[in-house]
């Protein structure tokens, strides 16, 4: 019995599907994440995250401010709470933005906040940094508003404003650090992307090579 070569094509079990190696496959290795695959944290987790970050970062400032402001702990806590609320609000309103899904931006922000927490926990560094910007904040608030309580103690309102001003100044410094860190992170991510793309293309090319025995099997059967 002969084999009809005109109607039958050899089947290569090693052949890849038609979509392999296309741009869609390569996009899977890109740093952008589909919101449906990796949603943002819930509201409760977002509040907890920023509360921990702001709370730990404020330890040196709270200790120094407790002495400078005449034990105005409530005013400082209110200022920290306002800052936490601002972070949560900013987190939510920027979620629709495309840059929030960028791996480069995510790694840059993570690096900056880790550096900030390390600086806060490193007692000499955190104390000196927070003392400098705390003094700037106190001079700005007392000179601009004149809200000073009895003696040399800051009033509740001046303490709240001073805490917020100091936080803004520290965040400006973190922004500058982030601008310096971003190019480094971008280079690292780009190298990883190229390596993953090259690996994907090599895998696709290897899958397209079929053994010679499978291409010759129909003619052998006809003989």
Give me the pLDDT at residue 152, please: 54
What is the C-alpha to C-alpha distance for residues 66 and 30, in angstroms, rounded to an integer?
A: 48
Q: How far from 183 is each of 105, 155, 178, 179, CA to CA, in Å?
A: 10, 43, 9, 7
* Domain chopping of the chain, boundaries: 38-206
Which 3 state secondary structure label does DSSP give 148?
A: strand
In this predicted model, what pLDDT tens digit does every residue of 45-67 receive, in sequence order?
999 999 999 999 988 888 887 77
- CA angle 90/96/98 to nearest 5° reads 105
Residue 87's SS3 state is helix
State pLDDT tens for residues 170-216.
999 999 999 999 999 999 988 888 888 887 777 777 665 555 544 44
Beta bridge partners of 148: 154
Look up residue 75 and give its two tokens: 């005013």
For 118-173, what is each residue's pLDDT tens digit?
Answer: 988 887 777 888 888 988 988 888 887 665 544 456 788 888 988 999 999 999 99
């Amino acid at each position: 019995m002969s084999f009809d070569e005109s109607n039958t094509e050899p089947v290569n079990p090693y052949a890849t599907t038609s979509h392999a190696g296309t741009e869609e496959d390569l996009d899977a290795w890109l740093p952008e994440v589909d919101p449906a695959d990796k949603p943002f944290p819930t509201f409760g987790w977002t509040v907890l995250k920023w509360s921990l970050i702001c709370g730990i970062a404020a330890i040196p400032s709270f200790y120094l401010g407790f002495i400078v402001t005449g034990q105005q702990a409530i005013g400082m806590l209110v200022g920290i709470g306002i800052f936490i609320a601002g972070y949560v609000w900013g987190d939510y309103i920027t979620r629709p933005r495309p840059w929030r899904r960028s791996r480069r931006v995510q790694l840059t922000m993570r690096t900056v906040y880790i550096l900030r927490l390390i600086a806060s926990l490193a007692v000499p560094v955190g104390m000196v940094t927070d003392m400098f910007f705390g003094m700037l904040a106190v001079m700005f608030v007392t000179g601009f508003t004149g809200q000073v309580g009895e003696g040399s103690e800051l009033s509740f309102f001046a303490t709240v404003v001073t805490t917020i001003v100091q936080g803004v100044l520290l965040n400006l410094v973190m922004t500058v650090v982030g601008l310096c860190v971003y190019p480094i992170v971008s280079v690292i991510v780009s190298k990883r992307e190229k390596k993953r793309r090259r690996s994907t293309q090599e895998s696709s090319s290897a899958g397209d090579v079929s053994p010679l025995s499978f291409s010759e099997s129909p003619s052998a059967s006809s003989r």
